[in-house]
Amino acid sequence: MTAPRLILEATIRFLRAHEPFARMTRRDLEYLAGHVRLAYFAAGSVVVDAASGAQCPLHVIQRGHVRAIDARAPADATLLGPGECFPLGPAGQAVASVGYVATEDVFCYQLEASECQALRASSVAFAEFCAQSLRTLLHQSQGQVRRQFSQRAVEQQTLLQPVRALIRRAPVSCAAATPLRAALERMSAEGVGTIAVVDDAQRPIGIFTLTDLMERVVLPGADLGGPVSAVMTPSPGAVDEETTAQEALAVMATHRYHQLVITRAGALCGVVSERDLFALQRVSMQYVIEAIRGARDVEALKGAAADIMTLADNLLAQGAAAEPLTHTIASLNDALTLRLFALLAADHDLEGIDWCWLSLGSEGRREQTIASDQDNALVFEVAEPQREMARARLLAFAHAANQALAALGVPLCPGNIMAGNPAHCLSADEWRGRFASWLREPAPEALLAANIFFDFRALAGQAPLADALRRWLVEVAPDSRLFLRLLATNALAAEPPLGVMRAFVTDDGVHRGTIDLKADGTRIFVDAARAFALAFGIAETGTAPRLRLAGRRLGLEERETGAYADAFHFLQLLRLRAQRGHVGSEGGPAPHAAPNRIDPYALNELDQRMLKEALRQARLLQKLLEQTLAR
Amino acid sequence: MRWPWTRQLERRQVRAALAEPLRARLAHLHRRALGAASGRRLRATPLALARFVAVDLETTGPRMDCDRVIAIGAVAVAERALAHADAFAAVLRQSASSSVDNILVHQIGGQQQLGGVEPAAALLEFLEFRGAAFAVAFRAEFDAEVLGRELELQLGVRVPRRFLDLALLLPALHPGTQNDSLEDWLEHFGLVPIGRHDALADAYTTAQLLLIVLDAAQRLGARSAGDLVDLEAAQRWLGRRR
């Protein structure tokens, strides 16, 4: 007997609202809806016993919540909600040690194992889902971001706005009979490269640009007393001010115009150049790098810094993954800082000093988000007698650099961990002494503050100085047992906000209803990775590479360490989206005071599941850390 | 004046008028599922294995003594689950479509009513679908009465009632509520109907309530389908519907 249409339709309607069913074909959904049984479980009853084995039917929660409890780690209960499937292990089969208990009255669709197999054979989306890993979910999540924000990107892209919005200033114009010299003087006085030639009714009849000056005036030796009409380009490309920027671009491309005259009711009202229009198109990485390289002063760099934000926004909208995204931001910020130093160097005499600018914290790990503030330091090497003199010169330079970076939009470090602070502008010997004291006599509080120093990386100057310091640290750290244990204990202090009754434990008070993605999320991964790196003598500073190398040392499978890295990157991505106002349907940037906070329940269903899984990975990582280092 | 044997005679006439294949199926059904022995077996079936059929009827009106069946929706619950593939729905062809008011309630238009399945065939198919299972409905009295009469008129058979009433079982197993109507209970359990004013949709919801009832009954120590019947009888004796 086949299921009546009404039941099929109602079931499919429900399934379609959830992954992976949303991506399955109608035929496969009909198969699923027609073969499931609906079962009821009162609150507190066991839905799937841990011992039920591989022949257990697949459950899809229709209503209510179910808690998954791993017998090996009872504290790691995960809460599953409507649309979620269980039991699903890594290979799409039940995991023997995990049991499922209804936390409230629950209805579940059940699909027998044999039918599940048939569905896997027929539906690629379902098969993929069953062979589920964090990776597939992550992929889907990025796809959703892409879909969600391509609309936003279109709106941002001002190519659809009328070209009048691009007119920057009142046009400079003259009559046809104006002597060439007078026209050039006007252009020079107004600081423009283009002058429009108009008739008595202000209608554009020609255009003259600085490019024409060479070919039509200077080289032919034209008479500067003659009328401008003799050298102008007659009947210039003109469009009405209501034309969209898109169309204007098309007109330029077709006729190879470099300038367009904009008219209102036929009369001249502005001139736009190719550059004005091209700036509207997506800011590309290349463009930003060139803008940084070409910047002649701090003022010009400010524009480039703003472009980095736009680029990050666009990459986010295009669904870029967190790792390349944060790396992009990091390398652009590096380029920005290097250019800034080059500009500043002219004012500072650093001759004869070997110095190296160190990036610390997230910058050192190349994991900058948009709200990251400055964390930097200086290491230098000079002959002993000149040390204090060198320090003074470096401090002056560093102070100026810190202020200039702040002017570019990288906030000053509230804890004053900056190169301009004498405490962090040290010689190589002094740095070694400082690290040695942390390693030898660690105090938990002091270590918390010291964390970011261990993530140092050379940014500018003599990189070998930083490398030597790193080599030394990698050698001595693994033997500092007490230090490592404290480091691990600190990393275990944070608790992933996973709930027992609800999926997430949100905060109260000022940040009511939100969770801190940094303090209770990414930091756990960062701290654990740092502890592992120092314990195993890993020179890497990035969290993901550190975890990968540590995993190899611990004999973990690539898949396992990959899951940690994926979880970390997902949390980073959420932070970036929160900071750029991409979280939730409301849009608008997050309140500046809490750039890393989000309301987890405002996320879409898929992201909620991802977040849950990522936080669960944080917990697993903590457990690993506890077992290896905290004992 | 109608004598008991008049009705018996009428039923025989109806049966005689049935097409041969229908008559054969009916006889088979009688032997297999409608006898007294099947009733005893049914009562003794363990709850966890028993099959129930949640039923909802759309009728020409609310009068128990004369209104007719327009549509039947039924969803089976077996082994404590509602199987999508084990469901039944039919619209019965009417000789004259029912009144406009009624059409508005059930949204089964005159065209669809007149175009439905031949009633005898549809009813027989329903009986076969139901088999020896208990039928379950909310306010089952009405459905049992109307369906019983329809079966007499169309198939010329009297079948054992075997209806369980959720309106009695629910307050027996979930005492202390003010719930009275089906809507009250749906809200109580947070159930959302899969359709409106549709026999099958209502049967589906009834089946969901039945799942809840079966779970509660088992917790209370009920072992067999017969225990449910006794529970229902006790609640009826208490005379409380809430």
The CATH topology of domain B4-164+197-207 is Nucleotidyltransferase; domain 5 (3.30.420)
Residue B38 clears pLDDT 50, i.e. is over it:
yes
Q: Are A373 and A360 in contact (CB under 8 A)?
A: no
Is the CB of B190 less than 8 angstroms away from the CB of A7?
A: no
* pLDDT tens string B97-117: 555 556 655 666 655 655 678
Least confident piece of the model among A262-266, A345-349, A424-428, B136-140: A345-349
Least confident piece of the model among A410-424, B23-37, B136-150: B23-37
At residue B3, the pLDDT reads 72
Distances in Å between the Cα of A452 and the Cα atoms of A27, A176, A594, B58 are: 54, 67, 20, 72
- Please compute the mean of the pLDDT values over residues A612-617 and round it to a whole number: 88
* A461 Rama sector, left if φ>0, alpha if ψ -120 to 50, beta otherwise: left
Among A4, A105, A107, beta carbon nearest to B87: A4
Beta-strand ranges (E) seen in A496-569 are: 515-516
Beta-strand ranges (E) seen in B64-119 are: 69-78, 81-91
At residue A90, the pLDDT reads 42
Q: Are A150 and A140 in contact (CB under 8 A)?
A: no
* pLDDT tens string A312-357: 777 776 666 677 777 777 878 888 888 888 888 888 888 888 999 9
Q: Are A192 and A208 in contact (CB under 8 A)?
A: no
- The length of chain B is 242
Q: Are B208 and B82 in contact (CB under 8 A)?
A: yes
Whose structure tokens read 């290097």?
Answer: A338
Is the CB of A4 less than 8 angstroms away from the CB of B200?
A: yes
The Cα A459–Cα A418 span in angstroms is 14
Among A2, A10, A38, beta carbon nearest to B195: A10
- Of the candidates A506, A472, A490, A484, the one whose C-alpha atom is nearest the C-alpha of residue A597 is A506
A 25-84 residues with CB < 8 A to B: 33-42, 45, 63
Q: Is A217 on the interface with B (CB under 8 A)?
A: no
- Please compute the mean of the pLDDT values over residues A574-594 and round it to a whole number: 59
* pLDDT tens string B49-104: 889 999 999 998 888 888 899 999 999 999 889 999 999 999 988 765 555 556 65
Residues 6+ away with beta carbon under 8 Å from A17: A83, A605
- Name the residue in chain B with its Cα closest to that of A104: B189
- Please compute the mean of the pLDDT values over residues B155-165 and round it to a whole number: 88
The Cα A173–Cα A152 span in angstroms is 38
Distances in Å between the Cα of A411 and the Cα atoms of A400, A450, A533 are: 14, 20, 29
Q: What is the 3-state secondary structure (H, E, C) of A341-354?
A: HHHHHCCCCCCCCE
Residue A572 clears pLDDT 60, i.e. is over it:
yes
Q: Is A107 on the interface with B (CB under 8 A)?
A: yes
Q: Identify the DSSP state of B239.
A: T
Residues 6+ away with beta carbon under 8 Å from A73: A620, A623
The Cα A446–Cα A42 span in angstroms is 51
Higher pLDDT, A145 or A325: A325
Say what the alpha-carbon torsion angle A131, A135, A136, A139 is, to the nearest 10 degrees.
-170
Per domain, the residue ranges of chain B are: 4-164+197-207
Q: Are B169 and B235 in contact (CB under 8 A)?
A: yes
At residue A155, the pLDDT reads 39
Q: Are A408 and A305 in contact (CB under 8 A)?
A: yes
Going along chain A from its start, the domains and CATH numbers come out as 5-132 (2.60.120.10), 163-278 (3.10.580.10), 320-473 (3.30.460.10), 481-628 (1.20.120)
At residue A152, the pLDDT reads 44
- Of the candidates A14, A15, A20, A17, the one whose C-alpha atom is nearest the C-alpha of residue A129 is A20
Q: Is A123 on the interface with B (CB under 8 A)?
A: no
Tokens of A339: 């250019």
The Cα B163–Cα A334 span in angstroms is 78
Helix, coil or strand: residue A195: strand
C-alpha R_g of chain A: 31
- Please compute the mean of the pLDDT values over residues A554-574 and round it to a whole number: 86
Q: Is B46 on the interface with A (CB under 8 A)?
A: no
| HSE value, Cβ hemisphere, 13 Å, CA-based, for A306 | 7
The Cα B138–Cα B202 span in angstroms is 10
Burial of A193 from C-beta contacts in 10 A (0-12 / 13-18 / 19+): middle
Alpha-carbon dihedral sign for residues A329, A335, A338, A344: negative
Distances in Å between the Cα of B205 and the Cα atoms of A63, A111, A349, B57 are: 14, 20, 83, 13
The Cα A112–Cα B84 span in angstroms is 13
Tokens of A77: 């209960």
At residue A150, the pLDDT reads 46
Is the CB of B81 less than 8 angstroms away from the CB of A2?
A: no
Q: Is B215 on the interface with A (CB under 8 A)?
A: yes
Distances in Å between the Cα of A458 and the Cα atoms of A398, A431, A446 are: 15, 14, 24
Residues of chain A in contact with residue B216, where contact means CB-CB under 8 angstroms, are 42
The Cα A180–Cα A217 span in angstroms is 9
Higher pLDDT, A279 or B242: A279
**Closest approach of B35 to chain A, Cα-based (Å):** 25
**Closest approach of B90 to chain A, Cα-based (Å):** 10
- Name the residue in chain B with its Cα closest to that of A10: B194
At residue A154, the pLDDT reads 42
Confidence of residue A410 (pLDDT cuts 50, 70, 90): confident
Please report the ipTM that was assigned to this predicted complex: 0.87
Residues of chain B in contact with residue A33, where contact means CB-CB under 8 angstroms, are 84
* A266 Rama sector, left if φ>0, alpha if ψ -120 to 50, beta otherwise: left
Residues of chain A in contact with residue B189, where contact means CB-CB under 8 angstroms, are 105
Burial of B229 from C-beta contacts in 10 A (0-12 / 13-18 / 19+): middle
Mean pLDDT of chain A: 82
| HSE value, Cβ hemisphere, 13 Å, CA-based, for A438 | 23
Is the CB of B83 less than 8 angstroms away from the CB of A39?
A: no
Tokens of B164: 């369980």
Among B82, B89, B219, beta carbon nearest to A37: B82
At residue A57, the pLDDT reads 85
**Closest approach of B148 to chain A, Cα-based (Å):** 24
Q: Which of B77, B82, B84 to mutate to test the interface with A (most CBs of A within 10 A)?
A: B84
* pLDDT tens string A185-209: 999 888 888 899 999 999 999 999 8
Q: Are A356 and A378 in contact (CB under 8 A)?
A: yes
- The length of chain A is 631
**Closest approach of B20 to chain A, Cα-based (Å):** 24
**Closest approach of B88 to chain A, Cα-based (Å):** 7
The Cα B152–Cα B148 span in angstroms is 6
The Cα A44–Cα B219 span in angstroms is 12
Confidence of residue A455 (pLDDT cuts 50, 70, 90): very high
Strand partners, B58: B71
* A/B interface, count of CB pairs below 8 Å: 70
**Closest approach of A140 to chain B, Cα-based (Å):** 29
**Closest approach of B12 to chain A, Cα-based (Å):** 32
Is the CB of A45 less than 8 angstroms away from the CB of B208?
A: no
Tokens of B77: 């619950």
Distances in Å between the Cα of B211 and the Cα atoms of A107, A322, B75, B145 are: 9, 46, 12, 24
Is the CB of A10 less than 8 angstroms away from the CB of B87?
A: no
| HSE value, Cβ hemisphere, 13 Å, CA-based, for A448 | 11
Least confident piece of the model among A27-31, A65-69, A142-146, B72-76: A142-146
Say what the alpha-carbon torsion angle A188, A193, A197, A200 is, to the nearest 10 degrees.
-60
Residues of chain B in contact with residue A107, where contact means CB-CB under 8 angstroms, are 208, 211
Q: Are A122 and A55 in contact (CB under 8 A)?
A: no
- Please compute the mean of the pLDDT values over residues A588-603 and round it to a whole number: 71
- Name the residue in chain A with its Cα closest to that of B90: A4
Per DSSP, chain B holds a count of helices (H) and strands (E) of 11, 5
Q: Identify the DSSP state of B229.
A: H
Is the CB of A6 less than 8 angstroms away from the CB of B89?
A: yes
Is the CB of B215 less than 8 angstroms away from the CB of A107?
A: no
Residues 6+ away with beta carbon under 8 Å from A381: A353, A354, A355, A427, A428, A462, A465
Residue A540 clears pLDDT 50, i.e. is over it:
yes
Among A11, A42, A105, beta carbon nearest to B84: A11
Tokens of A392: 């003074």
Question: For residue B21, is the peptide bond before it cis, meaning its omega torsion is within 30 degrees of 0?
Answer: no
